[in-house]
Chain A
Amino acid sequence: MTDSTAGKTVGQAVAERETSDEPLLRARGLDKHFGAVQALTKVDLDIPSGQVTCLCGDNGAGKSVLTKCIAGIYQPDHGQIFWEGHPVHVRNARDAGRLGIETVYQDLALADNLDIVQNMFLGRERLRRGVLLDEDDMEQAAADTLKSLRVTTVRSIRQPVASLSGGQRQSVAVAKAVMWNSKLVVLDEPTAALGVVQTKMVLELVRRLRDRGLAVMIISHNLNDVFEVADRVAVLYLGRMVAQKPISELDRQSVVEYMTYGGSEHAAALAPRPAGTQEDADVAG
């Protein structure tokens, strides 16, 4: 696992990783309503570095709203977000980017008519002489990042994104998010539109991000994916956080119960058992 240039950028993230118990991101008591609709009610969420946190929940549970509060698209009505222990206000996507939060939305937010390099640097182009785009520098950096993430399936990084397959587009979107010294990468349904092989490729990419010490949050419906990569699972039910546990304390049935009823007797029965029990093994297989 040697990284060439991108190792530098990510290396900093690793160095600054919290050594204490303080998670990278801690949200406390987030409330958000739209008109009469209460989308989030007193939501607490911890996202530690070097782990994959999966955010689950049924449709309308508030997954997207919570994600957007973290990404700066929405501002919570009440509550506080702590970043590396300090209270922060994320007012827009730029603020989030400055902190090191990058979000990959389900629709990927790639411009089809631009090539891979142009997309990866969109909004943060490097300049030379203060005016003109420094294409060489950007292309080099994009190539290095893709290589360090082993996204080696695209031959020319100067091909328009329109010509890429779904998995390749997802990989480009993730690489774009990783490029910016990011410490937390949020992936919204990263495998929703992908086939089996491409899903595998993307989940592999997620593991690589975690191994570099980044915090990863995945919003997913897909329990296969969840149990494939998650270290921790957080479940939203009708705008409330009903469970936040290490994956070892959960199994499929309990997650489904949390998602559909907001509670799980099964999980309660499961809890006392130590990690790596029979059920975990079943799920992993």
Chain B
Amino acid sequence: MSRVDVDPVGTEPPERQEVAAPGEVADDTQAAEAAAVVVVPPALIAESLGGYLRAWLVRIRSGDSGVLPVVLGLVIIAIVFQAISPNHVFLHADNIVNLFQQSAVFMVISMAEIVVLLLGEIDLSLGFLAAVGGVIAIQFVEPVTRGWPWWSAIIIALASCGILGAAQGTLISRLRLPSFIVTLAGLLIFQGMMLRLLLLGPFSGYPTLVGDDNNLVMMHNLMWANLDPTVSWFLMVGVVLGLGGLFWFRDARRRRSGLVAPPASLTLIKIAMIAIAGVVVVLICNVNRSVGTPEINGVPWFILIVLAVLVFWTVLLEMTRFGRYIYAIGGNAEAARRAGINLSSIRTWAFALCAMTGALGGILYMSSQNGMSNNFNGGQVVLYAVAAAVIGGTSLFGGRGRAIHGVLGGLVIGGIYNGMFLLSLDTHWQYIVTGTVLLVAVMIDALSRRAATAGR
């Protein structure tokens, strides 16, 4: 009755295996189906930990390397700079927190950029758009002019940038103008907007967060305040238990229902790695970073902010329809259109949300600099954000990437920046090294893509 026992796929070296889905009761039909020969690339059979590792290796070889290159890159950066930095200070606790702080802005803006990169588009205006967000936020909290509460200033900044992003997104999606050009125009327009907004109020173009006003202090705290060390520990344990429990119960449920799921050992390894990362970060952050009194220690607030953005985008991209459609449009826009997805709406929303996330990055930048000034280099910031995304493993061609890539890539950029600074090298070296790293990342992206298509 079934003719599937004719070997249907002749392209791969066949590995023959009976169909035996877990929990299946064998009867005549099943026996007939079991007679059907299953031909699969060996890599895709993975029921044990060993199997998973083999599958992983094959995936890497076929071009889907995941976060491996960027993690290797981080290790190399750590080793090299630790070896050559004066007094080997690179891996000192206070320098690592410093590095985190320098990376945080890149991480957030890079996560924003990843959303549009996934669509196969690019947003070059994101740097100055972020600056506009930063300026709006500081102008609204300044007590001599507006003096609004810090949270309302942040909401206004995010909303304004969201509207600007939606405007660009509308031009790109409705008129089908190239995003490269629209956002290049945006880069100039928003730079002008930033300069104009800086001139408002009696600040001679340099609004600062200096002062005792509660709202100014709050803005300053975004990048500079720390949690109490004890609270840091409790919070870390809470986050690890929460994430770990989520992964464990999800994988266990999927294993029970016979769905595709990693073996228990792999789930445990994943949870253990999250726990180790959490412990290491808290240990580093809880070391006293002050040379005098009072002590400065504990997990900085901005780490929580970056984590919140990471969780937000990971959930939105990987667990909702909106995110699924972003991947679908980036992978095959025509398929998405035929599936009834409203491409214009998804693209416009993506640009708007990307702009809002970017604005949050701009507010963090403003907080870290204790104010805004016209020496903000938005062109460089956006290129670093794109570089961080690509270094992290996001494809410039659309359809491949995750929010975590922005965090890891941002760490690489921050690491290079920080290490070069420690070596007191001139900025030209920083540009050359960062540019080289970006080139390598793009090459890995393009080559892996070619390998993936050639392998079919």
Contacts and interface: CB of A to CB of B under 8 A. Distances in A.
Interface centre among B39, B46, B455 (most CB of A within 10 A): B39
A2 to B, nearest CB: 5
Given A163-B62, A163-B456, A197 B327 contact: no
25 contacts: A94-B340, A109-B334, A111-B399, A112-B331, A112-B399, A113-B327, A113-B399, A114-B327, A118-B327, A122-B335, A122-B339, A123-B341, A127-B321, A131-B320, A133-B320, A139-B259, A139-B260, A147-B21, A152-B38, A158-B260, A162-B452, A168-B9, A198-B8, A201-B4, A204-B4
B142 interface: no
Nearest to A154: B40
Nearest to B395: A113
A136 interface: yes
B2 interface: yes
B51 to A, nearest CB: 11
A110 interface: yes
Nearest to B453: A162
Interface string B190-207: 000000000000000000
Interface of B: 1-4, 6-12, 17, 19, 21, 29, 33, 36, 38-41, 44-46, 62, 64, 253-254, 257, 259-260, 315, 319-321, 324, 327-328, 330-332, 334-336, 338-341, 399-400, 452-453, 455-456
B320 A136 contact: no
Interface in A106-128: 107-114, 118-119, 122-125, 127
A118 B341 CA distance: 14
A110 B332 CA distance: 7
Interface centre among A105, A114, A125 (most CB of B within 10 A): A114
Contacts of A118: 324, 327-328
A2 B25 CA distance: 14
A132 B323 CA distance: 10
A42 interface: no
Contact of B338 (A93, A127, A136, A162): A93
Interface string A154-194: 11111110110101100000000000000000000000000
Contacts of A158: 260
Interface of A: 1-2, 92-94, 97, 105, 107-114, 118-119, 122-125, 127, 131-133, 136, 139-140, 143, 147, 150, 152-160, 162-163, 165, 167-168, 195, 197-198, 200-201, 204
B332 A112 contact: yes
Contact of B41 (A110, A131, A163): A163
A136 B261 CA distance: 10
B320 A132 contact: yes
B6 A200 contact: yes
A2 B340 contact: no
A195 B338 contact: no
Nearest to B8: A201
Contact of A111 (B46, B260, B328): B328
B80 to A, nearest CB: 34
Nearest to B40: A155
Contacts of B320: 131-133
Contacts of B10: 195, 197-198
Nearest to B321: A125
A86 to B, nearest CB: 23
Contacts of B259: 136, 139-140, 143
B8 A153 contact: yes
A147 B456 CA distance: 24
Contact of A133 (B41, B321, B334): B321
Contact of A123 (B1, B40, B319, B340): B340
A12 B339 CA distance: 23
B338 A153 contact: no
Contacts of B257: 136, 140
B9 A109 contact: no
A157 B339 CA distance: 19
A157 B315 CA distance: 22
A251 to B, nearest CB: 25
A132 B319 contact: yes
Contact of B9 (A105, A110, A165): A165
Given A136-B253, A163-B44, A165-B9, A152 B3 contact: no
B324 to A, nearest CB: 6
Contacts of A156: 40, 44-46, 260
Nearest to A127: B321
Contacts of A110: 332, 335
Contacts of A201: 3-4, 6, 8
B22 to A, nearest CB: 11
A108 B36 CA distance: 25
B4 A150 contact: yes
Contacts of A133: 319-321, 324
A232 B6 CA distance: 27
A2 B260 CA distance: 24
A218 B340 CA distance: 22
B66 to A, nearest CB: 13
Contacts of B12: 165
B8 A197 contact: yes
A175 B340 CA distance: 18
A150 B6 contact: no
Contacts of B4: 150, 152-153, 201, 204
Contacts of B327: 111, 113-114, 118
Contacts of A108: 335
A167 to B, nearest CB: 6
Given A113-B331, A123-B341, A155-B17, 7 more contacts: A1-B1, A122-B341, A133-B319, A152-B36, A154-B40, A159-B44, A163-B456
A1 B45 CA distance: 27
Contacts of A97: 340
